[in-house]
Amino acid sequence: MPHATHLSRRALLTAPLAVAAGCRAQGTAAAPAARADPAPFRTLAPFPVGTCAMSDQMQDPQFAALLATNFDQLTPEWEMKMEAILQKDGRLDFTLPDAIAAVASSRGMRLHATTLVWHEQKAPAFLALDGQTTRFKVAYRNYILAVAGRYRGRAAGWDVVNEPVRNDSEGYYDSIFSRNLGPAHIEDAFFLAREADPKAVLFLNEYNLEYMPAKRRLFLKLAERLLKAGAPLGGLGTQSHLVASSRLGQVTESLRDLASLGLPIHVSELDVSTKEGTYVAMGQAERLTRQAALVQETVEAFSALPAAQRYALTVWGVRDKDAWKARPPNDGTDQPLLFDAQGKAKPAARAFAEALAKAPR
């Protein structure tokens, strides 16, 4: 699956939000009758339906309205990650994540927290301790206890470790955490998160599982290893950054495999790119149709899981202009989400709603 590099992805997540909105064409011909918006997603689903947000987006009335109408779970897109919280001098600044948590609380939304440990996180405060094993271990412990502990009783779940498996499926990513603490830093993170919050569901989260069966197998082996070690692994997250040109069936296969361990599953970052992938003479209308088909498959495959394993289905953004794939250095032409730049429901939104309505109760 073509995928932006993680370095680019981190830059996209931290970049200023795109604010340009598309313009409506004016003409004299009679416009076709507007289709009614689908029913609010949260009213259709027998499980939580989530999205992500950053605090600045809450100032946009249209964004806030779409959020409140359609979703009952909220994930901080970037502002609960280490680079947002851990300052260069080692202080912890919770201003941004607290704002997201407050929005969730005020609107009666479930909070899903992300991420405690990610190999792409290169916080200066940890870099300064590189090679100092004892001090590094203390700092690692203190960070996880402080951050997970701050949202104790407020976060329904945590992405404890994010994207541990290399894309070549040859092992796990090297990071400042593995170099200083060894491979056990992964299970240690789960034990520490449980110490900080006894009730949150603790997730191992990964991407490209739909397109890379070998990576999926390695991810499941890691999950099994954690369970055998007694680590409090409570669920598996599959990001589901999909591509409209891909074949149907891969999402269903992946979710079936992930569910084999009996753990709750979180479709944690769903979007469907209309730009990445291989498109041979395929117009935008067909791309949006294929996007809708993949969205429908994802909802149906998730809905087919046992009710106890359906933690939540999260879409990674609300409108196309909110998407991480719409930010520089990308050119803003990708349309990966359910609502267009003007906040209008796309075919994918209708497919999403129709599939939710059919989900087994």
Residue at token pair 């901080």: 76
Cβ 49 vs Cβ 75: under 8 Å:
no
Distance CA 314, CA 149 (A): 24
What confidence score (pLDDT) does residue 10 get? Answer: 46
Q: Are the C-beta atoms of 109 and 151 separated by less than 8 Å? A: no
Domain that holds residue 122: 39-357
CATH number at residue 87: 3.20.20.80
pLDDT at 338: 98
13 lies in a domain? no
For residue 51, what is the enclosing H or E element? strand 49-53
pTM for this model (two decimals): 0.90
The pLDDT of residue 37: 85
Residue at 33 is within a domain: no
pLDDT (0 to 100) of residue 28? 35
Structure tokens that stand for 359 in this block: 């989900």
| Structural domain includes residue 91 | yes
Tell me if 106 is assigned to some domain: yes
Residue 255: the pLDDT is: 98
Assess contact for 285 and 238: CB atoms under 8 A.
no
Helices (H), 197-311: 213-228, 250-258, 284-303
The structure tokens 């289905």 sit at 313
Q: Cα–Cα distance between 311 and 359 in angstroms, integer?
A: 14
Ramachandran angles phi, psi of 305, nearest 5°: -70, 155
> In the 8-state DSSP scheme, what is residue 325?
G
Contacts of 128 (CB under 8 A, 6+ apart): none
Domain for residue 1, yes or no? no
Question: Could you report the average pLDDT of every consecutive run of 10 residues in the chain (361 residues)?
Answer: 39 39 34 68 98 95 97 97 95 97 96 97 93 97 98 98 95 95 97 98 98 97 98 98 94 98 98 83 88 98 98 98 91 94 97 98 92
Cα separation of 336 and 322, whole Å? 10
DSSP H helices in 233-357:
250-258, 284-303, 347-357
- Count how many domains the chain has: 1
Q: Is residue 236 part of a domain?
A: yes
Q: How far apart are CA 210 and CA 248, in angstroms?
A: 10
Q: Is residue 8 part of a domain?
A: no
230: left (phi over 0), alpha (psi -120 to 50) or beta: left
Residue type, 327: R
* Domain contains 190: yes
The number of C-alpha atoms within 13 Å of 6 and in the hemisphere containing its C-beta is 15
Write down the number of H helices and E strands in the chain. 13, 9
